[in-house]
């Protein structure tokens, strides 16, 4: 079965979407025995706009939560196993509160969300689970209040924008329709980009899974993903492949000639070309993804603030190396700025701050002063600093920032 592939996709999907608003623990251990919670989420600094964009998923993540996603309908035994893990966590937290002599109430305990494509009436009734239509959408069934658990039947959720990011974790037609609805989002939408990257990874894993025969619905899923991701990355990948082939051929020939002197020209060229093409393609694809992020950010700033300032242009390339979650948070931060001179000034500060955090996260309290000092530099000096930034050690970076303040 390809269940492991789908489980991995669900965990990575929830991690990427929830990490901007909290801490996500994948495979959190429970101490009573060797068992793991699929996804354990602890809220961080609130970003209301981002949580609202996540819709129903964002509402679920408004408090500490455990997510147990299932590719197929969970059996009674599997649901009981999830409840067992939830009760183990509750016991650990209660013992911790007692040791620390801290008062607590049930609202501080994590809520368990069991995500599955469908849930039969017999299974739901066996746990006395009932809907809460006053506060939650149809398709969500809550167990007794003290258990802090809900069964989410994804295929029973209304197919609205509010449920889109959960329906991506569905199955069959529901999942395929959710994927198709991604086309309605802007091409540079941060969540669309993240979802497509994860879906493409799922597609690749399914395609390369030669040990098991794919089910018909998995073959249909592959067909549904392909055109969407192609639309998103076609240009970036083409550029990356061209660069990768060019550099790969060059490096491959060079290495092949060197090895050919020792092992024979024919063998060396063959191995050199093979290794060079493989490594060149990898580097080229990564450069293509970074170039895609750079273009997305450039277009976003142009649409939001009009013509880019010279200092904005200087920091575009280093920001393209941000991880997907941090890149998403940056775009959300930029989208909340006013469209005027003050907003443009704040945007430049936010961009420079992101560049410094990527290079030297340990700056801490020095970061605001460092940003101010850098923005005070003439454009030529700022450009030179950004170009030299990857080669600077931590001590050299602090020294340069100190010189910029003088």
Provide the residue-wise pLDDT of the chain in tens; the chain has 406 residues. Answer: 456 778 888 888 888 888 888 888 887 655 545 468 889 999 988 889 999 999 999 999 999 999 999 999 999 999 999 999 999 999 888 888 888 888 877 888 999 999 999 999 999 999 999 999 999 999 999 999 999 999 999 999 999 999 999 999 999 889 989 988 987 888 778 898 888 888 878 877 776 664 566 677 777 777 767 666 566 555 455 555 566 656 666 676 566 556 655 665 456 556 655 665 556 555 655 666 677 777 777 877 777 777 788 888 887 877 777 777 677 777 777 777 787 888 888 888 888 888 777 666 666 667 777 778 888 888 888 888 878 877 777 777 777 766 554 5
In the chain, where are the structural domains located? 3-171, 185-303, 307-406
pTM of model > 0.85: no
Question: 327 and 357 in contact (C-beta within 8 Å)?
Answer: no
Distance CA 330, CA 347 (A): 10
Cβ atoms within 10 Å, residue 169 = 24
Q: In what order do the strands lie in the sheet with 130-131?
A: 22-30, 35-43, 65-69, 111-116, 149-153, 140-142, 130-131
Distance CA 234, CA 125 (A): 48
Q: Are strands 22-30 and 35-43 parallel, antiparallel or unpaired?
A: antiparallel
As a whole number of Å, the end-to-end CA separation of the chain is 64
In whole angstroms, give the CA distance from residue 274 to residue 256: 9
CA–CA dist 397, 102 (Å, integer): 43
Which of 168, 143, 140, 160 shows the shortest CA–CA distance to 152? Answer: 140
- Cβ atoms of residues 347 and 312 within 8 Å: yes
Residues 6+ apart with CB under 8 A from 128: 143, 144
Give the span between the Cα atoms of 201 and 300, in whole angstroms.
26
pLDDT at 231: 64
Report which of 154, 160, 158, 144 is spatially closest to residue 112, judged by C-alpha positions. 144
- In degrees, rounded to 5, the angle at the alpha carbon of residue 112 between the alpha carbons of residues 109 and 117 is 170
Residue 21, C-beta contacts closer than 8 angstroms, at least 6 positions apart? 43, 44, 45, 46, 47, 50, 51, 58, 61
């Amino acid at each position: 079965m390809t269940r492991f592939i789908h489980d991995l996709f669900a965990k990575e999907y929830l991690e990427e979407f929830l990490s901007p608003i909290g801490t996500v623990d994948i495979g959190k251990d429970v101490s009573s025995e060797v068992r793991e919670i699929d996804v354990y989420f602890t809220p961080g600094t609130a970003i209301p706009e981002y949580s609202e964009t996540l819709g129903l998923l964002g509402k679920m993540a408004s408090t500490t939560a455990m997510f147990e996603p299932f590719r197929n309908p969970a059996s009674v035994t599997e649901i009981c196993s999830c409840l067992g893990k939830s009760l183990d966590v509750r016991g650990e937290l209660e013992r911790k509160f007692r040791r620390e002599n801290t008062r607590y109430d049930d609202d501080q305990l994590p809520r368990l969300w069991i995500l599955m494509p469908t849930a039969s009436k017999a299974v739901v009734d066996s746990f006395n689970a009932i809907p809460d239509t006053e506060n939650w959408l149809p398709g969500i069934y809550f167990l007794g209040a003290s258990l802090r658990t809900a069964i989410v039947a994804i295929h029973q959720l209304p197919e609205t924008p509010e449920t889109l990011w959960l329906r991506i974790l569905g199955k069959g037609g529901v999942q395929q329709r959710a994927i198709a609805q991604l086309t309605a989002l802007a091409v540079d939408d941060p969540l669309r980009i993240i979802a497509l990257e994860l879906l493409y990874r799922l597609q690749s894993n399914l395609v390369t899974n030669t040990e098991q025969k794919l089910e018909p619905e998995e073959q249909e899923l592959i067909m549904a993903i392909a055109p969407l991701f192609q639309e998103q990355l076609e240009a970036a990948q083409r550029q990356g492949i061209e660069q990768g082939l060019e550099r790969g051929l060059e490096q491959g020939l060079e290495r092949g000639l060197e090895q050919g002197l020792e092992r024979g020209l024919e063998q060396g060229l063959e191995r050199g070309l093979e290794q060079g093409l493989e490594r060149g393609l990898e580097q080229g694809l990564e450069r293509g993804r970074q170039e895609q992020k750079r273009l997305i950010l450039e277009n976003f700033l142009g649409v939001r603030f009009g013509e880019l300032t010279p200092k904005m242009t200087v920091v575009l390339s280093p920001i393209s190396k941000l991880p997907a979650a941090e890149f998403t948070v940056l775009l959300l931060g930029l989208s909340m700025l006013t469209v005027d001179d003050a907003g443009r000034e704040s945007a430049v500060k936010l961009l420079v701050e992101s560049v410094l955090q990527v290079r030297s996260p340990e700056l801490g309290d020095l970061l605001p002063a460092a940003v101010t000092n850098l923005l005070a530099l003439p454009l030529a000096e700022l450009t030179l600093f950004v170009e030299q930034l990857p080669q600077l050690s931590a001590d050299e970076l602090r020294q340069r920032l100190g010189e910029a303040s003088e």
